[in-house]
A = this chain, B = another copy of it.
Amino acid sequence: MTVDFEQVLCPISSHDDVITLAHGSGGRKSAQLLNDVILKHLRSEYLAPLQDSASIPVRGTSLAFTTDSYVIDPLFFPGGDIGQLAVIGTVNDLSMSGARPLYISLGLIIEEGFPIDTLSRIVKSIADTANRCDVQVVTGDTKVVNAGKADGIFINTAGVGSIDHPRPPATDRIAVGDAIICSGDIGRHGCSVMAQREEYDFATSIKSDLAPLHLIVEELLSANIDIHCLRDLTRGGLAGCAIELASSSRTRFELQQEHIPVSTEVRSLSSILGLDELYIANEGCMLTVLPQTDVNQALAIMHRHPQTKLACVIGEVTEGPGDCVLVTPFNTKRKLEQLTGEMLPRIC
């Protein structure tokens, strides 16, 4: 069911003097680009921890600040659209640092010739989603580029949130012995987008898991559950996220394969496509790393929310060199590696 990504996915034309799709994958090439080109010049106190959001001090108060661009193709997919994605993605990024999402900026880059009624649908979707997430779009910008110089529409949102909790989740709080909870079944977002693309006209009922997680996070934090780290499983999927967290915290993330929730539909489709669901992007799914003593209370809260009703412990943080291993049902261990190519381009 799994494939050798090293061999299959690394494009033959890939070399390091031009940008390839792999540089946007959230995998190994993305990390290389980040380190060798971006952080080389832009290293800063707040950028360094590579959280979903930066925690920044402003006049004695602590804020979360984050940004994401959305280049998803197609713009409308089962379970959502680019507008919903642009709001929810940023709301979730703020939530993952324990912040209460407050304000969003909206940057639109539109290709000349883009239908205005499609734009209107997308903007309405942004407004409805912002409303649903209790965030306000407070500033925006629209640029138009010549026909053929962009692909329909790209959206950037940045978000500002308030970090009210005294000990917010952060990568450096991950501790050996912590439990790892996965909040839901994985792979639905990527599969739904993939199935929608013209070249793969599958009849499938898979819908994206796209959903805001901020209310669940707020409830967990209000209940004084000592969450050490939160991370949503977007680009790079569960594996990409677990590898990154293990690497940052210099521990080992040991995941029990048979505990990881995956629907039959996602398993079948990813199997047909030769994809590994562990690496497929999600948009409403998160890892929660927390002390074992807090697990039952956290799961009780999660199970009350439809979005996280399948939440379960999928593994544990152990001592290690900063890697992630998958324990198979036969109790063998497979080391998970960051993708070197791009499995599903333009999934978010």
Chain B residues contacting A70 (CB-CB under 8 Å) are: 143
B59 touches A107 (CB 8 A): no
B67 touches A162 (CB 8 A): no
A158 touches B17 (CB 8 A): no
A54 touches B113 (CB 8 A): no
Could you give, for residues 134-153 of chain A, a 1 whenever the CB lies within 8 Å of some chain B CB and a 0 otherwise?
00111111111110111100
* A160 in the interface (beta carbon within 8 A): yes
**Given contact pairs A56-B103, A149-B150, A162-B59, A41 touches B123 in the complex (Cβ within 8 A):** yes
* A226 in the interface (beta carbon within 8 A): no
Determine the distance from Cα of A127 to Cα of B42 in the docked complex, in whole angstroms.
6
* Residues of chain A from 25 to 67 with CB closer than 8 A to chain B in the complex: 25, 30, 33-34, 37-38, 40-42, 44-47, 53-54, 56, 58-61, 63, 65-67
Could you give, for residues 64-79 of chain A, a 1 whenever the CB lies within 8 Å of some chain B CB and a 0 otherwise?
0111111100000000
* A189 in the interface (beta carbon within 8 A): no
Q: Which of B123, B149, B342 contacts A42 (CB 8 A)?
A: B123
* A20 in the interface (beta carbon within 8 A): yes
Chain B residues contacting A19 (CB-CB under 8 Å) are: 110-116, 119, 144
* A247 in the interface (beta carbon within 8 A): no
A residues lining the B interface (CB < 8 Å): 16-25, 30, 33-34, 37-38, 40-42, 44-47, 53-54, 56, 58-61, 63, 65-71, 102-103, 105-117, 119-120, 123-124, 126-127, 130, 136-146, 148-151, 154, 156, 158, 160, 162, 164, 342, 345-346
